Amino acid sequence: MFSYYGSKNKIAKLYPLPKYDLIIEPFAGAAWYSVLHRNKNVLLNEKYNVIHDIWNWLINEASSELILNNADFYSGQDISQIDLPKPHKDLIGFCINRGSIAPRNIVQKWSCQVASKPNWASTTNFALKRIAKILPEIKHWETQFGDYKNLPDIEATWFIDPPYQFGGEHYSVNGIDYSELAEWCKTRKGQVIVCENTKADWLPFTALTEIQGQRVKTIEAVWSNYT
Ligand SMILES: C[S@@+](CC[C@H](N)C(=O)[O-])C[C@H]1O[C@@H](n2cnc3c(N)ncnc32)[C@H](O)[C@@H]1O
């Protein structure tokens, strides 16, 4: 839904289609797989309070109008003093930057550029504009705060995208026991899709596609109990 470190916005379409009416994302982040299949029922779980609170705000409080009314920024602008509820401000803090791990305060050049205003004049932020458009279609979603292990084991499409085994240490919340997580993934009811990169060894992952990260290229990988 918004720009975030490790998010699957560009590659969400490469994963298997959901077989169930309910999608559960135990490690929600920006939840791009659910955004792609947003007509489904969706349960997002997240242990990083900043991310959880953004989802809770989007689903239960925000309106497209409110988002659009606070979406005009200029390159280099400092938004730290902006007077908005924290989850709204944090959402903006992710949208004015690319792939950051936490909300930022300084507006990056690319986030507001339009071809008709090549001098980086103040204009509407792309990401916020897109969120305002999508928002009415996700109001039936639900969100839960806490550890992935607290989720009930119900039949669903489980899209499981934890911090990478190698590379996930940058998240504010990490410290996953991967052998425990492997067992948990294998015992979920329904369709299970697990994301990683090819460096991981906690499940027999297969290569999906190569992606260019901010510093290095990695090969995204997937494991599923459905063929
Ligand atoms: C790789 S990101 C998810 C990216 C998401 N699929 C997307 O498209 O943006 C992993 C997320 O898991 C969260 N997380 C880390 N440990 C967790 C835990 N034990 N339980 C729930 N969430 C956790 C992190 O805060 C992070 O937001």
Mean pLDDT of the chain: 93
pLDDT tier, 121 (very low <50, low <70, confident <90, very high otherwise): low
For 214, the token pair is: 């901010």
What pLDDT, in 10s, does the model give residues 123-135? Answer: 789 899 999 999 9
Cβ atoms of 38 and 30 within 8 Å: the answer is no
CB 101: neighbour CB atoms within 10 A? 14
Handedness of CA 204, 14, 60, 168 (dihedral sign): positive
Residues 40, 134: Cα–Cα separation, whole Å: 14
What pLDDT, in 10s, does the model give residues 154-202? Answer: 999 999 999 999 988 888 898 899 999 999 999 999 999 999 999 999 9
4 lines ligand 1 (CB under 6 A): yes
147 lines ligand 1 (CB under 6 A): yes
Q: Which domains does the chain have, with CATH numbers?
A: 12-59+141-224 (3.40.50.150), 64-138 (no CATH)
The structure tokens 């697990």 sit at 194
- Quick one: pLDDT at residue 115? 47
Which atom from ligand 1 is nearest to the alpha carbon of 48?
25
Which candidate, 22, 20, 64, places its Cα nearest to that of 42?
Answer: 22
Q: What is the Å distance from ligand 1's center to 69 Cα?
A: 29
